[in-house]
Amino acid sequence: MRAMPPPVVESNSHLQPARIQPIAIRQESPRFPSTRFQGSKRRLAAGIVERVRSLEFTTVLDAFGGTGAVSHAFKAAGKHVTYNDVLAFNQQIGTALIENDSVRLTEDNFEAVERRHPGVVYNDFIARTFDGIYFTREENEWLDVAAGNIRRVADPYRRAMAWYALFQSALAKRPYNLFHRKNLYMRLADVSRGFGNKASWDRPFEDHFRFFAAKANQALIDGGGRCRAIRGDVLSAPDSFDLVYIDPPYMNRKGQGVDYQQFYHFLEGLMHHGEWAGRIDWSRAHRPLRSEPQYWSDPRVVANAFRDVFEKFRSSILVVSYRSDGFPEIETLTALLQSLKHRVEVHVQPERSYALSTNRRSREVLWIARD
């Protein structure tokens, strides 16, 4: 492969080289809830928004919304934000924290989610399907009841807030905060532990649910009804935005990508309750959803995926997050942006560690591309 041109900062020529600038680190917003969701930009969101504050834009698309941290920071800055994600459970997070301005959960809502209601027939799908895989039998039964009650909540924002609290509760009780393997034994074994938080694992679902619901309540910002949460492939999203923030799933230099559906398939299954059984790969012990082709986790096409997204939103300011040790490389992504935009800035964050990662050489990289 031929060498790519060097990154460009504040360049009016596609070929003029310039130095890479460091990202300024700012304290994250205290109102946005902490999370163990992989890839969260909670600690960087305020800095990302600060980097583009001087530019002229009103409407923002967060194309890979994830935890909603960057959407929330743009909303706090008074922008009209559209949160998008391909996963249904993430759309509920966006609905709860971004589209929702003021609907909070109350004590009555907590009790309504947690208890069995007379005359209601509860499906025991989780208890039957995931026995001994992620949670104890008692916990699975609680999830069946809580999920059934949440589905009956009429108000879409109150329902999304309840789903948010349930998702975070389930993550908090999981080793590694993932659903990537059958490993309930790690929680239950009577051994000396060098990692994890057994106290959090053993805390009742009810306590977690109320804790995360309170955090979600505190995070709400009145955006005047200007924000929304949508779901779909990024190439199917509307393209009429002043600024598009692009933070796709990460792929390392070995061509190994992050598959969020596989990491969080249990949460996604909750969103497709009537279809859940038909989507499970029953040949695998941890009962994941069947894999679907994803170009962001395919090294043969991921560069084309970036190109297609950049092309789709070429009329917008493009703000792109990726990792310095990722594939495609910094030089490749810079060249793609230079082919579409006259001014391309590249900012590299100083060293920091990522949750669940032993790689201390990786840096967060931010591109700002505009005409």
Please state, in angstroms and rounded to a whole number, the distance separating the CA atoms of residues 79 and 53: 10
- Provide the pLDDT for residue 360: 58
Task: Tell me the per-residue pLDDT of 145-192, one tens digit each, with 9 for 90 and over.
Answer: 999 999 999 999 999 999 999 999 999 999 999 999 999 999 888 776
What average pLDDT score do residues 123-140 get? Answer: 97
Please determine, for residue 272, whether its predicted confidence score (pLDDT) is greater than 90: yes
Please determine, for residue 2, whether its predicted confidence score (pLDDT) is greater than 70: no
Length of the chain: 371
Rounded to the nearest angstrom, the gap between the alpha carbon of residue 90 and the centroid of all alpha carbons in its chain is 7
- Provide the pLDDT for residue 12: 35
What average pLDDT score do residues 42-61 get? Answer: 95
Q: What is the pTM of this model?
A: 0.89
The residues, ordered by sequence, that sit 6+ positions from 73 with a Cβ below 8 Å of its Cβ are 29, 32, 45, 46, 48, 49
Q: Is residue 370 classed as helix, strand or coil in its secondary structure?
A: strand
DSSP character string of 67-107: TSHHHHHHHHTT-EEEEEESSHHHHHHHIIIII-SS----H
Q: Is the distance from CB of 295 to CB of 304 less than 8 angstroms? A: yes
What average pLDDT score do residues 283-295 get? Answer: 92
- Token pair 């108000």: residue: 155
- Provide the pLDDT for residue 223: 78
- Provide the pLDDT for residue 11: 36
**Strands laid side by side in the 317-323 sheet:** 21-22, 343-348, 364-370, 317-323, 243-246, 59-62, 80-85, 228-231
Q: What percent of the chain has pLDDT over 70?
A: 88
Instruction: Provide the pLDDT confidence category of residue 8 given band limits of 50, 70 and 90.
Output: very low
- Provide the pLDDT for residue 21: 55
Please state, in angstroms and rounded to a whole number, the distance separating the CA atoms of residues 261 and 256: 15
Please determine, for residue 265, whether its predicted confidence score (pLDDT) is greater than 70: yes
What average pLDDT score do residues 136-141 get? Answer: 98
Please determine, for residue 16, whether its predicted confidence score (pLDDT) is greater than 70: no
CA angle 258, 262, 263 (to 5 degrees): 70
Task: Tell me the per-residue pLDDT of 308-317, one tens digit each, with 9 for 90 and over.
Answer: 999 999 999 9
CA distances from 69 to 98, 157, 168, 358 (A): 9, 18, 14, 23
Q: Which of 40-44, 82-86, 328-332 has the lowest mean pLDDT?
A: 40-44
Please state, in angstroms and rounded to a whole number, the distance separating the CA atoms of residues 221 and 355: 27
Tokens at residue 30, please? 């205290």
Task: Provide the mean pLDDT of the chain.
Answer: 89
Please state, in angstroms and rounded to a whole number, the distance separating the CA atoms of residues 243 and 369: 10
- Provide the pLDDT for residue 198: 83
What average pLDDT score do residues 273-290 get? Answer: 96
